[in-house]
Amino acid sequence: METKRDMMVKVPVREQDPKVRAANFEEVCLGYNKEEAMAEAERCLNCKNAKCIAGCPVSIDIPAFIQEVKNGALEEAARVIARASALPAVCGRVCPQETQCEGLCIRGIKGEPVSIGKLERFVADWSREHGFVPEAPEKTNGKKVAVIGSGPCGLTCAGDLAKLGYEVTIFEALHEAGGVLTYGIPEFRLPKADVVQPEIDNVKKLGVRIETNVVIGKSVTIDELMEEEGFKAVFIGSGAGLPKFMGIPGENANGVFSANEYLTRSNLMKAFREDYDTPLMIGKNVVVVGGGNVAMDAARTALRLGAEVHIVYRRSEKELPARAEEVHHAKEEGIKFDLLTNPVEILTDDNGWVSGIICRRMELGEPDESGRRRPVEQAGSDFRIDADTVIMALGTSPNPLISATTEGLSVNRWKCIIADEKDGKTTKEGVYAGGDAVTGAATVILAMEAGRAGARGIDEYLSGKR
């Protein structure tokens, strides 16, 4: 007998059992099937002045696509999303929806908001499985645009420009496209072969060329691209890939890694697989320093490789910058959280290997300029955690290589490229920028929004220039 469903709560999403998934790299969240998606879509009130749209950085017409899902018209739903987003299978998985679309959903006032992210993901996965592809433009306008970086920002910008008829080439420094989607976010959150690669292929189907192994500023400069290779405009979406270290004693010991290195070895180089050549140090006792999504990803990767993992973060649980879902998953899998704790020294053995980490207890003081309560050291509270591996996930900043080799391109004091938020215009004519290269490390969807704005800016610039 069917019981009446509680419309105040989300249709639950199927997930791998924590005990099982802690030992594999397969996707944790299994997503909705058609019945579940249609049932969840029923919960959408189809608001006239839908607040959720305002919460989406690329303004997907959320109620419109959800109504299509409700009726089972999935190809139509995919079309609605494709008008605004080039990477729905990615964003449905990695966006912090709780602070974006779902955070503004009316249903969320009295109950749980509509599971917009999971519905978007379902539509995107359905499209891929059913061979729905975006339509390529009929003919190009013959104008060449270069996009630097193939992360979410560059892919979005390139896709939009291609749809407008431009001949777009993406230049990528690594040997694979995708940026952080490929080297940073692990398989268990974002499957590479099944999700990332097909979305990149969709951008290629729009006519975008991707040239890998080109380091802009070294292999070729932006000035050379514009003066010698005929590119009429350039979009910089090179991200913020330079890792930070703490500068504490012992940080160069063997066994201390940046999260970027650890994740690059594991995700891009597939070091966790026997048939790949790149090695990865698999510790038994791993300490991850930091509280963002990157820290969660590094910790959960180490766990899957068989380690016991501690996350050390200097503020409290409330201030953890990581997505709520990721923190929840990390805890379920058995990651230990040492909150209000800050490392002061890394200990080494006689051979230069990490043997432990000295941490200091913190308490929260007055709010600082960012509005978060400043952590204050508690005197005499030092204690030791045994560790053979320490992973530093303290954030990243933009690589100065491009700004240093491009005449007339200005950066601020954090080496972020100065660009207009509305159209990505930089201080150099014909050069536009967006994403983490401009804002410093942020989110996938904000990078996509900036890529979209940059494409608009470039189109206005080049169509006015006719």
Partner 1 sequence: MYQILKAEKLADKIYLMVVEAPRIARSCEPGEFVIVKIDEEGERVPLTICDYDREKGTVTIVFQTVGASTQRMSDLKAGDAFRDFVGPLGNPSEFVKEDPETLKKKKILFVAGGVGAAPVYPQVKWMKEHGIDVDVIVGSKTKDLLILTEEMEKQAGSLYITTDDGSFGHKGMVTEVITDLVESQGKKYDTCVAIGPMIMMKFVCLLTKKLAIPTVVSLNPIMVDGTGMCGACRVTVGDKVKFACVDGPEFDGHLVNFDEAMKRQQLYRTQEGRAMLRIQEGDTHHGGCGHCGGEE
Residues of the shown chain interacting with partner 1 in the complex, contacts defined by CB under 8 A: 173-175, 212-215, 218-220, 241-243, 245, 247, 251-252, 254-255, 257-258, 260-261, 264-265, 269-270, 275-281, 351-352, 396, 399, 401
Q: Which two tokens stand for residue 147?
A: 């996009």
CB of 261: closest distance to partner 1 in angstroms?
4
If phi > 0 it is left, if psi is from -120 to 50 it is alpha, else beta; for residue 352 that is: left
Is the separation of the CB atoms in 185 and 267 below 8 Å? yes
Of 136 and 220, CB closest to partner 1: 220
Partnered with residue 171 across adjacent β-strands are 148, 211
Q: Which of 210, 185, 389, 209 is nearest to 268 (CA)?
A: 185
Q: Residues 134, 136, 137, CA angle at the centre, nearest 5°?
A: 140
Toward partner 1, which CB reaches closer, 183 or 461?
183
Q: For partner 1, give the closer residue by CB, 95 or 280.
A: 280
Distances (CA, A) of 294 to 186, 309, 408, 421, 461: 10, 14, 33, 25, 36
Nearer to partner 1, 95 or 214 (CB): 214
> Measured from the CB of residue 221, what is the shortest distance to partner 1 in angstroms?
8
- Residue 3 or 351: which CB sits closer to partner 1? 351
> CB 218 → partner 1: shortest distance, Å?
6
Rounded to a whole number of angstroms, the minimum distance from the CB of residue 82 to partner 1 is 30
Six-digit token string for 80: 């609605």
Helix, strand or coil, per DSSP, at residue 205 = helix
What is each CA distance from 39 to 20, 72, 134, 441, in whole angstroms? 28, 10, 27, 36
Q: Which is nearer to partner 1, 142 or 247 (CB)?
A: 247
Among the residues of 369-411, which ranges form H helices? 401-404
Q: How far is the CB of 151 from partner 1 (least distance, A)?
A: 12
Min dist CB 144 to partner 1, Å, is: 17
Pick between residue 279 and residue 380 the one whose CB is nearest to partner 1: 279
Report d(CA 395, CA 155) in Å as an integer. Answer: 23
Shortest Cβ 310–partner 1 spacing (Å): 21
Q: Starting at the edge strand that comes first in sequence, how are the strands of the sheet with 336-338 ordered?
A: 256-258, 389-392, 285-289, 308-312, 336-338
Q: CB-hemisphere CA count at 13 Å for 243? A: 21
Q: Residue 384 Cβ, how far from partner 1 at the closest point, in Å?
A: 22
Shortest Cβ distance from residue 271 to partner 1 (Å)?
8
Specify the 3-state DSSP secondary structure of 344. strand
Report the residue number, 72 or 230, with the smaller CB distance to partner 1.
230
Of 245 and 383, the one with the shorter C-beta distance to partner 1 is 245
Distance in angstroms (rounded) separating the CA atoms of residues 212 and 233: 19
CA-wise closest residue to 327 among 88, 108, 101, 96? 96
Answer whether 180's CB lies under 8 Å from 444's CB. Answer: yes
What DSSP character marks residue 192?
A: I
Q: Which is nearer to partner 1, 151 or 375 (CB)?
A: 151
Shortest Å, Cβ 113 to partner 1: 36
Q: How many residues does the chain have?
A: 466
DSSP 35: H
Q: Tell me the three state secondary structure of residue 438.
A: helix
Rounded to whole angstroms, how far apart are CA atoms 139 and 446? 30
Tell me how far, at minimum, the Cβ of 175 lies from partner 1, in Å: 4
Of 56 and 416, which CB lies nearer to partner 1 in the complex structure?
416
